A and B are shown apart, each in its own frame.
Chain A
Amino acid sequence: MSGVHPVADWSTDFDVLDPGYVADPFTIWDDLRSTCPVAHTGRRGSTWLPTRYDDVVDLAHDIDHFSSTQISVIPVAGGSPPEGERILRYGVPPISADPPLHTWTRRLLLPWFSHRRVEGYQAMTAELCGRLLDGFSGRGRADAAGDYAQQIPVRVIAAILGVPGSLADTFTGWVRDVLEFADDPERRRRGSQALVEYFVDEVARRRSEPGDDLLSDLLGSEVDGVPIEDSVVLGIAALVLIAGVGTTWSVIGSSLWHLATHAEDRRRLVAEPDLMPFAVEELLRAYSPVTMARVVTEDVEFRGCPMKAGDKVLVNFPGANRDPAAFEEADSVVLDRAVNRHVAFGSGIHRCAGSNLARMELRVALEEWLARIPDFSLENGAQVTWAGGQVRGPRQLPVVFE
C-alpha cells in the first residue's frame, strides 16, 4: 500500500487504498458529506463514492442503472481476469449477478442461511470459540484478530460447505489474497486460482460421493428441470467461502478493538448482557466491514453527477451508516441504540445472504470472549494494523488481560 500516491483532494481524487483512509475513513466521509457527498476519482478507472445514507440506499435499489456484474472495489490490474475467475464463467452469483441469474441462484443459497439453520450452527460456534479461548486465555495476551476473530467464521463456513476445517489457514490465505491484495495482481491471481482449483476437485469428488453439505446440495439441484452447471456451483462455492470468511471476521475484530479501547462500553456490556442484541446491531453499524461496487449500465445523472456507462460506483454502506442525517450521534457507539436502520448487510435485492449467520457468529464470539476475558485492553505500544478496500477490519490486534 506504500505505492499509493498521496491524496490532495478527496472530492475529486479519492483513493480507498490510501493508508489514512484505511485507518480512519470516518472523518473523510464526514467532510465529503458536507462538501461533496458523491466524490469522484480517476484512479483505477472512473469511480464514484457516495457518502450519504439516502444516496447509498437509492443506488443499491436502482439495479437498472447500477449493475452487480462488476463488484470489485479494486479492479484487477493488467486487463485480463485471473485464470480462476475465467473458470467462473458466471462470476460468483448471486452477489455478482443481476436478475434473472441473481434470483434463482439466491434462492438455492438462502435456505442454508435461514434462521432455523443458523440456530443449528450456534452450538458448534460457541464450542469453537471456547476452544480458541482455552488456547490463550491463561497467557495474559493474545492477538484478538489473528488468534480469535480470524479463526471463527472460516471453520463454520467450512462445515457448511462440507470441506475440512483443518484447512482453515489455507482457506483464509486464499480469501485474503483475493480481498486484501487486489492491488497485487500476481497474489490475487494465485489466490483465486488455488481456490477455484480446490473446489473443482471437491465438486468432482461429490459427484461420486454426495454428502450432507451445501456443495452436494447444489450439485443435486435442478432449476426448471435442468441440473445447474458446474461453473455456477463453483461460483456459489467461491462466494460462500470468500464472503463468509473475510467479512464476519473483520467485524468481530473491529468489535473487539472497540471494546478494548472503550472501557465503559466493555464494562456495560458485561454488566448488562441483555444489551447484546442491540450492541451487535450497533457494532455492525459503526464498523460495517463491506463496501461493494456497481458498474453504471448507461449514462445517467445521479445527484448532479454525470455518471458514464462503464464507470464504477462504490456502494458505501459503511459510510451510509455514519451519516448524521440518518443516525443521531452517528460517530459514537451507542450500545442500546433503539432505532437502527443500518445497512451493514446492504439494501435491496442483494441483502447479504449470510446475515443471519454473521449476526450469530458476532454475538457468540463476543459473548464467549467476554465470559472468559471481561477485562482487556490494547497492549502498550501495540501495532494495530487494518485491512481496507473491499472489506475493512483489524488484521493484528494485540490485547492484554489479567
Chain B
Amino acid sequence: MRYKSQKVAYWFFALSMLLLTLQLVYGFIMGFAHMGYDNLHSFIPFNTARAVHTNLLVVWLLSGFMGAAYYIIPEEAENELVSVKLAYVQLISLAVVGVIAIIGYHFNYWEGRKFLEIPRPLDYLVVVNVLTFLGLILVTLFMGKKRTTTSLVLSMGLLFAALLYLPGMIWFDNQTMDSFFRWWVVHLWVEGVWELIMGGILAYLLIKITGVDREVIEKWLYVIVGLTFISGVLGTGHHYYYIGTPKYWLIIGGIFSALEPLAFLGMALFAVAMYRKGEKRHPNKIALSWTLGTSIISFVGAGLLGMAHTLPSVNMYTHGTLVTAMHGHLAFWGAYGMIVLAIISYTLPNLTGRKRYDNVNGVLAFWLSNIGMIGMTAAFAAAGVAQVYMERIMGVDFGDVQKEIQVHFLVLVLCATLFSVGIGLFIYEFVKYGLPNDEALEINEND
C-alpha cells in the first residue's frame, strides 16, 4: 500500500464478503425448495429467495469492483483519493440501499424484472451513489500524475456500467420492449463493460504479480477488451432470438455470440502467457492462483458453457430452462466472483501489513470453492439437459419433470456445501488478517 486513502478499499471488500455469505444462505433455500423442501415458503417464497440471491450477487460484485477501484486508482494515478470521507459516505449509502432493497423483497416491494428487481425510488438512490463513486474515482485519476491504460480501462468500464443502468429504468407497456432494454443493462454489463473492469483488474494483478513490462500487458489488454466489445455488443442478439424481435437477430446473435468465447480465451492465454514470461516470483501464491484461476474458469464458464447453448437451434429448446442456470453459475463465479477474490487476496497483505499468504486455509479455500462450484455446474447441467429432453422434446408436463430431476438438486446442495466451506475459509482468512493500518504503508517491497 502506497497511499493512506487506499485503506477505504478494505471496507468495500468487507461489505462484499458479508453480502456473499448472505447470498449463499438464499442459494441453499432455493436448492432445498427445488428438492421439495420448501418449508420456509410462508416467510421466504421462492421468488423472494431468487431476487435476494441474484441481487446480492450483483451488489457484492459491485462492492468488490468499487473496492478494487479505490485501491488501484490512487496507486496507478499516483494520487491520494480526493475525498476519503465521501468514499465512506458512499460505502454506507450503498449498504443502506442494499439492505432496504433486500428487506423490501420479503414484503412484496420490488419491480419484478429479472436482475433489476430494485424498486424505482431506490433506483434513483443507486444512481446518486454510483455518481458519487465515479466522481471520486475520475477526479482522483485526472488530478493524478499518471493516467495508465489499466486505470483508464477500469474507469471506462465503471463509467459505462453506470450509463447502461439508465435504459433499465424506462417504463414500457410492451413486454418485448421492456425486455429489449433490460438486456442493455444485464447483457451489456456482464458480457461487455464488466469485462473491461475484469480486464483492468486482471492487468493490474498481472503487472504486480508477474513483473512483466506494463507496456506489453497493456497492449494485450486493449486487444482483449477490443475482442470483448466486437463480439459482445452484437452478441446481445442471443437474447433477442425469441422475445418478439425480428428474425435477423437469430443470425447476428448467433454469429457474434459464437465469437464471444474468443475474448475469454484471449484472457486465459494472456494470463498464462504473462505468468510464464514473468521473471518475478511474487510470494503471494494465493493471489496468483485466483488470478490465473479467474482467467481459466471464466473461459470455461462464460465462454464454453455459454457457447454450448447460444446457437439459435439449440437455444430454441434450452431457452428458459436450468441449462441457463448451469452457464450462469460458472460464468459469474469464474469471471467476476474469482476476480474479486483475486484482488482481495492480493491487496489484503498490503492493506494490513500481515503476510498470511503462505497458508493452508487460503489454498483450501481456492480448491474447495472451485471444486464445489464445478460440481454445482455439473448438477445443473444434468438437471437442465434432462429437463430439455423430457419437457421440451418429449412433451412431459413441467411439474412431472421437476419431480424427476429433484435428485440432481441433492447433488447440487452437496456440492454447494463444499463450495460454502471454501468460501467460509476465505472469509475466515479475511477476518484473521485484521484491519488495515498505516504501518502497512511502509511495507512495499512486494506490492
Q: Do A and B bind each other?
A: no
B interface with A by C-beta (< 8 Å)? none
A interface with B by C-beta (< 8 Å)? none
